Structure 1
Amino acid sequence: MRRTHRDSSSSDAHPHPAPAVRGALPAGPGRFVGRAGELAELTRLLGASRLVTISGAGGVGKSRLAAEGASALQNRYADGVRPVGLTAVGDPGLLEHSLAEALGIIDRTTRPPREVLLGHLARRDLLLVLDGVEQFSDACAALVRELLRGAPGLRVLAVGRTPLRIEGEAVLSLGPLTEADAVEFFCDRAAVVVPGFRPAEDDRAAVRELCLRLDGIPLALELAARRLPALSVEQVVERLDERFRLLAGGEQGSLPRHRTLRTAIGWSHELCTPEERLLWARLSVFAGPFDLEAVEYVCSGPDLPADRVPDVVAELLALSVITREETPAGVRYRMPGTLRACGEEWLGALGDARRMRKRHRDWYVGLATWCELDWFSPRQTEVAACAESALPNLRAALELCLESEEDTHLGQYLAGTLWFCWVGCGRLAEGRRWLDRALAQGDEHEEARLRALWVLGHVAILQGDTETAAGALRTCREEAVRADSPAAVYAVHRMGTLALLADESPRAEELLRTALDSYRELGELNGHVLMGQVELAMALVFQDRLPEAVVLCEEVREICGEHGELWTRAYALYVLAYAAWTDDSQGTARELLAEAIAISRRFHDLLGLVLAIELMALVTADEGDPAEAAVLQGAAAPLWDGVGPPLLGSRHFGAPSALCRRKAREALGPWRYEVLVREGRGLSPEAAVRRALAGPDSRTGLEDGRPAAGPALSQTREPAGSPTGKDGETAG
């Protein structure tokens, strides 16, 4: 698979950027024209009702009106506006996952996604914009009804062809542009392709006639304007008129609005070259954003050579059949939903839909394979951004794999190969869903099934589902040993992880050493190997063998630096920061933890983030600021809600938190300590990260201009240099 790599150190290559407090609505292409009355009515309805639906025919401008209206009202809601596009969601079972992703929710537990959503929204004052609710109208209606009941501060702006029909829903039925607005809109779009376009006196009547014939539908007007480099306005009107008369049986008169749009799309389609028509149809297999390389592989063939694809893509872009957008993963293209639906029909008429879906699947299976290999490289952040952009298409590929029994093994392979997306990018719940589905459908291909089994075990461990994890790993190990498969090594490794979290440090050490020896025999060097080494170091720390652990983590840190690996590096830094704390090197510990926190936040790794913040609280207490330490402990508490059992239910992992709590309570007194913990619990994840990263000299004005928790109180340190404090409490 061919790939052009960008510099992974560039600022725009960060995966899963942390969501802003106020959501940014995407700006539509071109200037927003007219709709002053509709905007005023939308504002009024949103002030009077908790659910407003903009309904109307395809192409009439519902999404653009919603974006403009919501943007104008962002300051009305304390927690801002969050847009959620549903057109790329191919399965109603993924609705909750899509909403959680748009809201920036990271949850590693086995809780149902709807329960997670309700918990997140319960105390928020927020406007949720759901675009494309007609995809799964019944499922959307049920979800919105439950969210509105459970979250009194939530407001929903839905966009779809029909209302949701929920009690209390206010409906804004959107019609076409007025004649004056339609003329202004057409001229504005025409000036994009014909610079300086202004209709002469003789042309104004033709422009008005064109707008009348196209019913003032913005999408139809946009497509017509894109033809002006080759046709005059009069020619556009004449050609459209011929097509309308044909559809109306030769009689004069208007067509229904939905047929007007379809006619305009069909007319634009007819004016395309054969290559453009073919690519339009084939591009409809993409469920979300796509890049040029994907198009070259999926859509090329004898009738459309790969070297012609870039030129044809450029033509469709010029005709507004597709749009171009800059993303952290690079340039991506997208086809509007109405035009994609037409493309799907034409592809079906060609009898080529099944073949194209398989080519699409094959590309994204290959992309996932490339991403997994490149996860252990300087391009790790690029890989995460690529997976983020490709997720709708990866979901479509998984769905196709699981449609037929003969392709189940591909679904198992793909769900297992995407472990880095599920584990490394904060999507455990969705990964669990795909792995469960894939493993429930067959076991004909042993290697694919074994891969999915150990990945399921890994995901279940991180969700706190030890029973499922133990069962999957045990089965994988037994079957892999019989088959002489390397999957046995991965199963043993994750069994060691399970023992580590169960506070069975000697057994964890035994299993992890066995796995690391086997990895070396296989010649493996990847993120799994290095993470196994970090986990072994943790098992040694828990057995009071800190110097051995430091040697292991220094080696991991060095190898990660050589290979540009970040995700595992963060965990090695965590262990090294603990070692620095025991040596009374608070500045070094803070520096190491700051880097670990930044990496974990970048990858949406909630476990790594909250462990580092807990240890940072202890460092802060020993710097002489128990008040700020209490705030950080409070800030960590809601993050644990998204991880599972606090401190993983482990006495060893919980020791730094317990020691910090004891020190801070002694310095502050129980009442003051609890007040500051409550303050910390009220911080957003972004504010918690800012507080954790702020050094001793910069802890003011960190949350909405408020001062930090209070003055530093007297230092209450215990001798460091050992994982055990004076009272024998393990702190590592």
Structure 2
Amino acid sequence: MDPSAAGTVGDLPAELDAFVGRTAELGALTRALRSARLVTVTGMGGVGKTRLALRAAARCASSAQGASGGVGPARARPRPWAWVELAALRDPGLVDHALLGALGLTDHTMRPPRRTLLEHLSGRRLLLVLDGFEHLAEACAELVAEVLRRAPGVSVLAVGRRPLGVAGERLFPLGPLTEQDAVRLLAERAAQQGVSVARGDRAVRELCRRLDGIPLALELAAARLRALSPDRLLERLDDRFRLLTGGGPGTLPRHRTLRTAIGWSHELCTPAERLLWARLSVFTGPFDLEAAEYVCSGDGLPAGDVLDVLGELLAQSVVCREDTPAGVRYRMLDTVRAYGAGWLAATGDTDRLRRRHRDWYLGLATWCELEWFSPRQTEVATRIEVELPNLRGALEYCVTRPEEAHLGQYLAGCLWFCWTGCGRLAEGRHWLTRAANLDGGHAPSRLKALTGLAYVAILQGDTVPALATLEECRRTAEDAASARALAYTEHRTGCLALVTDDLERAETLLRSALRRYGELGELNSAVLMGQVELAMARAFQGDLPEAVRLCEDVRRVCEDHGERWSRAYALYVLAYAAWSEDDPAAARALLVECLGSAHGFNDLLGSVLALELLALVTVSEGDAAEAALLQGAAGALWPSVGLRLFGSVYYNAPHELCEARAREQLGDERYERCVRAGAELDREAAVDRALGRTRASAPAPLPAPRRPGPRQGADTREPAASPAHGGGETTG
């Protein structure tokens, strides 16, 4: 991958079956992407826009492309890409967050996500694919226009049912398949069902013509060929489904045909299958069997029947099965889902089903919050990532209905570990702010959202709002007589003091909060983070023995409970102490483990802190060039975290010492070259490098320097994120 690419980007969506036809269109689209910076593939639902874009993006990713925008000499390196699926997104305010997620970016700062995106994309060469944007067209158009203006190396492939309307946009309207390709598609999809179709058969060709060569309609027809011959399918199109063509005189015929195809598949379903189809439309992303059984059962569909009925919908291509890191999931194509939603609305049952959907995901979030402090922590992180589209749907339902406000506050607060520990801090602030601003009439739920919001603001370095929110937390907790909320409020206030270098106050508040936790019998990742933060405050004040004692206790508790996330921060403090006591080998071993855990959780703050300290350890071992490279890699990540090293005297001292020693050994020119080389690494490559997976053994170690102290006369700075951050809590 081009080292100037945007962060680590995941694989293109897998193609589960063969790509049929479209040879001319694929070539034309690929050429368009080489000569224009914005290409929008438009067409009706079901015509195959996404499949064509997927294949074109794959071709661009695997072949050498021209310089940005196709202007200039050919380059020998493949073009990096990012695929952003927007169909399940309903809130325009989350478009920027969706792009951050697709680019693998985590931003802990108070900056708007748009600024983070633009700063990251500036100077990079990237193909950005936006799929299913039409319901968010205005927000997407504004974003794309700004990206194209501010990031000249970025090109955009948009996929939707309408143009974006951005200057310079090249439209690529996609029509139906040719008759030859339509017949081939029908035959190949029928063969997957174990049915042999004669491509020269009159009825087959007539069926493809009547379905206007629309891929989705053809695939639905192929699923029916197990039970009905092509002649019988034609008969059914001729009579029973004539009323399902839909639309007025101005509606395009193939739009009506697609409705005919979906409606015809719907009509051929049993009543139970139609009922499940409609109810499944409340899911806004992949769902598992248990969720379907809970949300969709009852009133004519027993829970025990859901599996069999779902299996029939799978066989008819109404529902797709996919393997995810969290296990098997199911989803409906957006067009099919929209059709089911229309039937659900017609029955007047939409609100009841959305409440059941909300209940399931509220329960899931509660379970995940509890299991975060357990050996299932990694499983929880993986599952939350897969379930996020439906969690967003549940949050949106709650925060847009006054009677659901308290549940929205509870749900947003339950997901603290997702926002702070799994790389979604900016999105967390979005939901926590919306929830906390509502009057749900339930103090414990609002406290849960407020304490989470305060912590997110601290981690983003947004001190003034953090202080205001903490003060509101304190007043509300006192009015509600909530000892637990008061403990968390004091803890958060101590964390704020720590990142603003008020160490004595931080120590006082953190010790008091830990005492309160002990009296309440509270023990979880958040409590352990409070102990790690106290240890860091003691280490910065020179009391290494107590810092080590506190973090060894955290490590023991984490190992007893299978907790890995807060343990990583304890390892960071232990590594700081080991280096300070002239034991770089021990410090390296601790930091390698710390970095591996933090990166595994997509915790950018923990990762960049470990990289910074590893750089100092590396220069202590005698490899100044590698230390400078690691500093460059860390420096490239800090803009997505906040003010470099939090603007803290204490955190800056090791960084400055590492830089001084590396410059002394390398000279200014070579040091800067090494830093630039490190800055070109994407996050995955930087972590691999730091973990020793891509570099040779270091030279023989040199004596370690003495532990740094605070700089003199440097007391004006902006705080940013906490060195050790943890969770939202249960406040009632």
For the Cα contact (< 8 Å) 2:402–2:440, is it kept in 1? no
Q: Give, in angstroms, the shift of residue 286 of structure 1.
A: 0.7
For the Cα contact (< 8 Å) 1:55–1:62, is it kept in 2? yes
For the Cα contact (< 8 Å) 2:47–2:215, is it kept in 1? yes
The residue aligned with 2:583 is 585
The residue aligned with 2:181 is 181
For the Cα contact (< 8 Å) 1:130–1:156, is it kept in 2? yes
User: Which amino acid letter does the alignment assign opposite residue 488 of structure 2?
Assistant: Y
More displaced stretch, 574-583 vs 33-42: 574-583
Task: Determine helix, strand or coil for the equivalent of 2:329.
Answer: strand
Q: Give, in angstroms, the shift of residue 390 of structure 1.
A: 1.3
Q: Give, in angstroms, the shift of residue 233 of structure 1.
A: 1.9
In the alignment, which of 272, 275, 290 is matched to residue 275 of structure 1? 272
In the alignment, which of 19, 38, 60 is matched to residue 51 of structure 1? 38
Q: Give, in angstroms, the shift of residue 484 of structure 1.
A: 1.8
Mapped partners of 1:265, 1:348: distance in 2: 17
The residue aligned with 2:58 is 71
User: Which amino acid letter does the alignment assign opposite residue 526 of structure 1?
Assistant: N
User: Which amino acid letter does the alignment assign opposite residue 268 of structure 2?
Assistant: L
User: Which amino acid letter does the alignment assign opposite residue 69 of structure 1?
Assistant: A
Q: Give, in angstroms, the shift of residue 728 of structure 1.
A: 14
1:89 aligns with 2:117: no
Matches of residues 292-371 of structure 1 in structure 2 within 5 Å? 292-371=289-368
For the Cα contact (< 8 Å) 1:593–1:616, is it kept in 2? yes
The residue aligned with 1:656 is 654
The residue aligned with 1:154 is 154
Query: Is the alpha carbon distance of 1:481 and 1:688 closer, same or farther for their aligned partners in structure 2, counting shifts above 3 Å?
Result: same
For the Cα contact (< 8 Å) 2:42–2:49, is it kept in 1? yes
The residue aligned with 2:403 is 406
For the Cα contact (< 8 Å) 1:627–1:713, is it kept in 2? no
Task: Determine helix, strand or coil for the equivalent of 2:321.
Answer: strand
Matches of residues 160-239 of structure 1 in structure 2 within 5 Å? 160-194=160-194, 197-199=196-198, 204-239=201-236
Query: Is the alpha carbon distance of 1:205 and 1:455 closer, same or farther for their aligned partners in structure 2, counting shifts above 3 Å?
Result: same
For the Cα contact (< 8 Å) 1:667–1:713, is it kept in 2? no
Q: Give, in angstroms, the shift of residue 166 of structure 1.
A: 2.0
In the alignment, which of 3, 10, 20 is matched to residue 33 of structure 1? 20
For the Cα contact (< 8 Å) 1:63–1:131, is it kept in 2? yes
The residue aligned with 1:120 is 120
1:489 aligns with 2:487: yes
Mapped partners of 2:669, 2:144: distance in 1: 41
For the Cα contact (< 8 Å) 1:626–1:713, is it kept in 2? no
More displaced stretch, 582-591 vs 222-231: 582-591
**Across the two proteins, how many residue pairs are aligned to each other?**
693
The residue aligned with 2:544 is 546
Mapped partners of 2:451, 2:232: distance in 1: 64
For the Cα contact (< 8 Å) 1:372–1:417, is it kept in 2? yes
The residue aligned with 1:287 is 284
Summarize deviations over 1:122-172 as a string: whole Å, max 9, x none: 111111111112112122112111111111111111111112222221111
In the alignment, which of 513, 516, 522 is matched to residue 515 of structure 1? 513
Query: Is the alpha carbon distance of 1:727 and 1:159 closer, same or farther for their aligned partners in structure 2, counting shifts above 3 Å?
Result: closer
Q: Give, in angstroms, the shift of residue 235 of structure 1.
A: 1.3
For the Cα contact (< 8 Å) 2:9–2:104, is it kept in 1? no
Mapped partners of 2:439, 2:312: distance in 1: 44
Q: Give, in angstroms, the shift of residue 679 of structure 1.
A: 2.3
Mapped partners of 1:726, 1:434: distance in 2: 39
The residue aligned with 2:47 is 60
In the alignment, which of 690, 693, 712 is matched to residue 691 of structure 2? 693
Mapped partners of 1:236, 1:292: distance in 2: 31
Query: Is the alpha carbon distance of 1:165 and 1:412 closer, same or farther for their aligned partners in structure 2, counting shifts above 3 Å?
Result: same
For the Cα contact (< 8 Å) 2:284–2:393, is it kept in 1? yes
In the alignment, which of 475, 480, 484 is matched to residue 478 of structure 1? 475
Task: Determine helix, strand or coil for the equivalent of 2:129.
Answer: strand
More displaced stretch, 433-442 vs 315-324: 433-442
Query: Is the alpha carbon distance of 1:377 and 1:19 closer, same or farther for their aligned partners in structure 2, counting shifts above 3 Å?
Result: farther
Mapped partners of 2:102, 2:710: distance in 1: 43
User: Which amino acid letter does the alignment assign opposite residue 114 of structure 1?
Assistant: R
Structure 1: state its 5+ residue gaps.
1-17, 701-707
Query: Is the alpha carbon distance of 1:200 and 1:609 closer, same or farther for their aligned partners in structure 2, counting shifts above 3 Å?
Result: closer
Mapped partners of 1:163, 1:155: distance in 2: 16
Mapped partners of 1:182, 1:400: distance in 2: 40
Q: Give, in angstroms, the shift of residue 612 of structure 1.
A: 0.8
User: Which amino acid letter does the alignment assign opposite residue 515 of structure 2?
Assistant: D
For the Cα contact (< 8 Å) 2:583–2:704, is it kept in 1? no
Mapped partners of 1:624, 1:240: distance in 2: 78
Summarize deviations over 1:624-678 as a string: whole Å, max 9, x none: 1112111111211121111111111211122211221222222223333233222
Summarize deviations over 1:567-603 as a string: whole Å, max 9, x none: 1011000111122223332222111101111111111
User: Which amino acid letter does the alignment assign opposite residue 144 of structure 1?
Assistant: V
For the Cα contact (< 8 Å) 1:243–1:263, is it kept in 2? no
More displaced stretch, 24-33 vs 523-532: 24-33
For the Cα contact (< 8 Å) 1:401–1:411, is it kept in 2? yes
The residue aligned with 1:137 is 137
Mapped partners of 2:199, 2:159: distance in 1: 38
Mapped partners of 1:323, 1:247: distance in 2: 24
Q: Which has the higher contact order (CA 8 A, sep 6+)?
A: 2
More displaced stretch, 41-50 vs 266-275: 41-50
In the alignment, which of 415, 418, 427 is matched to residue 415 of structure 2? 418
For the Cα contact (< 8 Å) 1:667–1:714, is it kept in 2? no
User: Which amino acid letter does the alignment assign opposite residue 665 of structure 1?
Assistant: R
Query: Is the alpha carbon distance of 1:19 and 1:424 closer, same or farther for their aligned partners in structure 2, counting shifts above 3 Å?
Result: farther
Query: Is the alpha carbon distance of 1:665 and 1:94 closer, same or farther for their aligned partners in structure 2, counting shifts above 3 Å?
Result: same
Query: Is the alpha carbon distance of 1:714 and 1:384 closer, same or farther for their aligned partners in structure 2, counting shifts above 3 Å?
Result: closer
Q: Give, in angstroms, the shift of residue 687 of structure 1.
A: 2.0
Q: Give, in angstroms, the shift of residue 110 of structure 1.
A: 1.1
For the Cα contact (< 8 Å) 2:130–2:157, is it kept in 1? yes
The residue aligned with 1:9 is none
State the identity %.
60
Calculate the aligned-residue CA RMSD, in Å. Answer: 2.3
Q: Give, in angstroms, the shift of residue 723 of structure 1.
A: 5.9
Q: Give, in angstroms, the shift of residue 378 of structure 1.
A: 0.9
Query: Is the alpha carbon distance of 1:570 and 1:245 closer, same or farther for their aligned partners in structure 2, counting shifts above 3 Å?
Result: closer
Q: Give, in angstroms, the shift of residue 79 of structure 1.
A: 4.9
For the Cα contact (< 8 Å) 1:23–1:81, is it kept in 2? no
The residue aligned with 2:594 is 596
Task: Determine helix, strand or coil for the equivalent of 2:240.
Answer: helix
For the Cα contact (< 8 Å) 2:620–2:701, is it kept in 1? no
Mapped partners of 1:64, 1:615: distance in 2: 45
For the Cα contact (< 8 Å) 1:410–1:448, is it kept in 2? yes
The residue aligned with 1:108 is 108
Mapped partners of 2:301, 2:565: distance in 1: 41
Task: Determine helix, strand or coil for the equivalent of 1:243.
Answer: coil
For the Cα contact (< 8 Å) 1:691–1:699, is it kept in 2? yes
1:456 aligns with 2:444: no
Mapped partners of 1:726, 1:317: distance in 2: 65
Query: Is the alpha carbon distance of 1:410 and 1:481 closer, same or farther for their aligned partners in structure 2, counting shifts above 3 Å?
Result: same
Query: Is the alpha carbon distance of 1:146 and 1:361 closer, same or farther for their aligned partners in structure 2, counting shifts above 3 Å?
Result: same
1:531 aligns with 2:529: yes
Mapped partners of 1:495, 1:628: distance in 2: 38
User: Which amino acid letter does the alignment assign opposite residue 243 of structure 1?
Assistant: R
Mapped partners of 1:342, 1:280: distance in 2: 9
Q: Give, in angstroms, the shift of residue 358 of structure 1.
A: 0.9
Q: Give, in angstroms, the shift of residue 69 of structure 1.
A: 1.2
Mapped partners of 2:709, 2:570: distance in 1: 20
